[in-house]
Every structure is written in structure tokens, then in C-alpha cells.
Amino acid sequence: MIFLFRLLIQKYKKKLLLPTTVITILLFFVLQSQFKSAPPTADLVQPIPFEDSFIEQQENTTEYVEDIAIFVEVKGAVNNPGVYELLEGDRVLNAIELAGGYLPTSNSKNINHAQRVVDEMVIYVPLEGEEIADVETVATTQSANSNLVNINKADVTILSTLPGIGPAKAEAILAYREGTGNFKEKQDLMNVTGIGQKTFEKLEPLITVK
């Protein structure tokens, strides 16, 4: 069978050449036209809209933290008494350093160097042997608008200026604060050994528990 097929091809080879060529050319043009007319299969990439709200959100989430300036006056036995600018969170020690440190004749044993400074604070450094009688004394945290003594922050010297409170009772108040914590109410002062109702009545208008 294959032998007969080959004989037919050899016999009619020249007659079949032209039609075969024509058919091949037609098929080429048909396929090419279909390829050009076919729609692209790849999806178009859509641009992502850039919304202004995203920018606004980014701006709103940015916070600017400014340092709060605090002005403190340092008086007494320091090298350079005066008003100094500090930042919130600074300590009494920082104010003393800005004032040039202590004089050789100063008495700094009752100063709480770790105490945080507050605006309008007055830090008074006494001389050795000097008696402190004024309410505005060592490292006081009282503002210019208030003469109340904060029993949660005052040291022995300041507490001793209160009526009925001597050095022993002042030390007892500090010991109570260290052992129990800050006073939540003025009346808690009566929990300190040696301070009764009569003493408290004298102290109440002069103290605060800020």
C-alpha cells in the first residue's frame, strides 16, 4: 500500500506541487489574520489611586513633643545665685549645678537633691549654722501663689517650720512617707506618731497633699 502511494506521488508530483503551494500560502494568511484580530489575553494593569486622605492620616499621626521650660530661683550659699531655666523632669541637683555649686560655708545636708523641680520653685541654700525660720526655705516646691506646705514633698527643714512640728515629728512624717507612701488626704497626717487632733487642727489650713 505504501509502495503504491509513493508511485502515485512520483507520477503526479509536478501536478500536485502548485495546488499544495497555493493552499499553504492561503493557510498562512488566514492564520496571520486571525492572530492579529484576536483580543489580547493579558489584563491591563490598573493604576492604584493615591488618596489625599492617606497623606492627611500620616500627618495627623505625627506628634510633636515640646520640652516644657521651668524657671527656678536658686538663693543663698551658692556661687552664682539667680533664676535658671530647666526642663520638666530635672532635679534640684541640676539647678544647684547651674548656680555654680555650693560655697565652702554652705549647709546642704537638708537639701533633697533628687527632688524634681517645678515652675516658680525657690531653692534656698543656708550657710553653716544659719537658722531657717521662713516657710520659704530649702528646696521648697511652693508656688508664688500659694504658701501651703506639701507634706508629700516637703523635707525636714520645711516641715519643721509648721506649728507644733519639730525635728522629731518632721522625721516621723518622712518615715511614714517612706514606709506607707504619700498622704492621700490631709487627715492621714494624724496616722503619724505624735500628731493628734489638736495639732492637726493647727496644721490643716497650712498644708496640702498635692
What pLDDT is stored for residue 172 in this prediction?
Answer: 93
Whole-angstrom CA distances from 73 to 110, 140, 173 are 18, 11, 27
Q: Which has the higher per-residue pLDDT, 130 or 192?
A: 192
d(CA 143, CA 70): 12
* Superfamily in which the 148-210 domain is placed by CATH: AF1531-like domain (1.10.150.280)
Residues of the chain with CATH 3.10.20: 67-144
Write down the CATH number for the domain with range 67-144: 3.10.20
d(CA 170, CA 192): 10
Q: Which has the higher per-residue pLDDT, 118 or 50?
A: 118
What pLDDT is stored for residue 164 in this prediction?
Answer: 85
Sheet containing strand 69-76, edge to edge, reads 82-87, 69-76, 121-125
- Residues 143-154, mean pLDDT to the nearest whole number: 70
Collapse the DSSP code of 91 into the 3-class scheme (helix H, G, I; strand E, B; otherwise coil) and give the result: strand
Residues of the chain with CATH 1.10.150.280: 148-210
Reduced 3-state DSSP string for 134-162: CCCCCCECCCCCCCCEECCCCCHHHHCCC
pLDDT, one tens digit per residue, over 90-114 is: 999 999 999 999 999 998 888 888 8
